[in-house]
Amino acid sequence: MFFDQEQAVLKNAQQEAKLLLSQGEKPRIFSKQHLGTFSSQMQYSLALIAEEKEILFFAFLQWVAIFIGYLLWVQMLDWIPDSVWQEIQRASDHDHEGGFKLMNLVLLCWSFLIVAMVSYPISLFSAAMVASHYLRLSAQESTIGRCLGMAHRNLGRLWIFTTIDAWITVGAILDRLPKKHGRRTAFDELLYYAWKIGTMGVLPALVTGKGFLDAAKDSVILLKTQPARAIGIRMGYSLVCWVIGITAYIGSFYYFQMMPHAEGANRVYNFYFFMVVPIMLAVGLTAVLVRPLFLIMSARLYTDVVPFAKVTLPPEHKASKILVLIFSVLVCVIVGAVMFAKPLGLVDWIESLAAQDILQYRKLHP
């Protein structure tokens, strides 16, 4: 739906990974072999992070961006009246499907705006972490300024790729949550991990200034040249993320026992607002302690396979200033909507859409 042209270019890498996974073993998360590969590749990443502390700084800023994005996303749930959630509960109790199209569309658009906004700093700081490896490889000093300067080289494409990848990731996470209908299938997981494994080399390639087509080709080369290493790194990273996520999910039950129940108006909003603590603890552990390892492992795999010329700092690009302007406008729109929802009439507008949805649903299911 979003960035279809860019996704189409990257689909080749996903298809190659899908074929490889289909011919071999299925993408098993809980595998000692994958964890062993991830662990064996960790030494260089840990050594680089220990010497280049700016990597942890970039990782921390990513976590802050996700934290802010989550809080902004939750605010829209407060605009949706309780009557909608009550009707949704009634639909679930009676196994009724469909309906609430307007609310779904509004929530979809708001979610995408948040993902796109948060993807800007994530793409910038992820590229900066990869840049630290490139600078070390070319015997240049790695500093915050140099890493950010190199990250700006292809920031437009990096932002688009990160938005696509984040949107796919969020969709997979939500799809895995326990629900009454529409269980996630093994084929869904195969496609998801085919995307993740197939595009492992895209971000490192984009940082060097390549376009989507060349980045996708490079990513396929990684997968074909060192499939065991590529799959092991990605699946080992997924395993660690799963352990953190499951621990946070279980811990949230004990957390809610200690917290006051979400009584009063808009229980759905209260639930997601209180969930910020276990969710952000899990995201923090992943973003600050695990993701930098994965990014550096991926970058090192890329430079081990794809010929890499000496890194030179790119000149300042006017396009990056345009991107900053676009990002700033996006932030102002989102923050302005949150701060002035009532004066702008957004709350009344959403309530009117909710009333239309409820009316339409009751016509279908009296």
Nearest to residue 310, comparing CAs of 159, 139, 92, 180? 139
d(CA 281, CA 237): 17
Spell out the alpha helix ranges (H) of 4-98. Answer: 4-23, 32-40, 42-51, 54-79, 82-93
Looking at every residue in the chain, the average pLDDT score rounds to 86
The whole-number pLDDT of residue 314 equals 58
Q: What is the dihedral of CA 146, 40, 227, 126, to 10 degrees?
A: -20
The whole-number pLDDT of residue 27 equals 60
The whole-number pLDDT of residue 30 equals 61
Residue 29 has pLDDT above 70, yes or no: no
The whole-number pLDDT of residue 85 equals 80
Condensed to tens digits (0 to 9), the pLDDT of residues 249-267 reads: 888 888 877 766 555 557 7
Structure tokens, 246: 């499951």
Residue ranges per domain, the chain? 4-364
The whole-number pLDDT of residue 104 equals 87
d(CA 52, CA 342): 46
The whole-number pLDDT of residue 355 equals 87
Structure tokens, 268: 């759905």
CA 48, 210, 62, 5 torsion-angle sign: negative
Q: What mean pLDDT is predicted for residues 329-351?
A: 94
Q: Which residue has the higher pLDDT, 291 or 103?
A: 291
Residue 53 has pLDDT above 70, yes or no: yes
CB 79 within 8 Å of CB 145: no
d(CA 234, CA 28): 11
Residue by residue, DSSP assigns 259-284 as SPP--SS-HHHHHHHHTHHHHHHHHH
For the ranges 286-295, 315-324, 331-340, the lowest mean pLDDT is seen at 315-324
d(CA 282, CA 247): 8
Q: Which residue has the higher pLDDT, 114 or 30?
A: 114
The whole-number pLDDT of residue 287 equals 95
CB 222 within 8 Å of CB 230: yes
The whole-number pLDDT of residue 12 equals 86
The whole-number pLDDT of residue 69 equals 96
Q: What is the dihedral of CA 15, 20, 23, 25, to 10 degrees?
A: -120
Condensed to tens digits (0 to 9), the pLDDT of residues 185-240 reads: 777 888 898 999 999 999 999 999 899 999 999 999 999 999 889 988 998 898 89
Q: Is 85 exposed, middle or buried (0-12, 13-18, 19+ CB in 10 A)?
A: middle
The whole-number pLDDT of residue 96 equals 61
CA 172 to each of CA 5, 11, 13, 216, 270: distance values in angstroms, whole numbers, following the listed order: 21, 17, 19, 22, 24
d(CA 238, CA 38): 10
For the chain, the straight-line distance linking the first and the last C-alpha, in angstroms and rounded, comes to 33
The whole-number pLDDT of residue 26 equals 57
CB 126 within 8 Å of CB 295: yes
φ/ψ of residue 162, rounded to 5: -65, -40
Q: Which residue has the higher pLDDT, 36 or 10?
A: 10
Condensed to tens digits (0 to 9), the pLDDT of residues 128-146 reads: 999 999 999 988 889 999 9
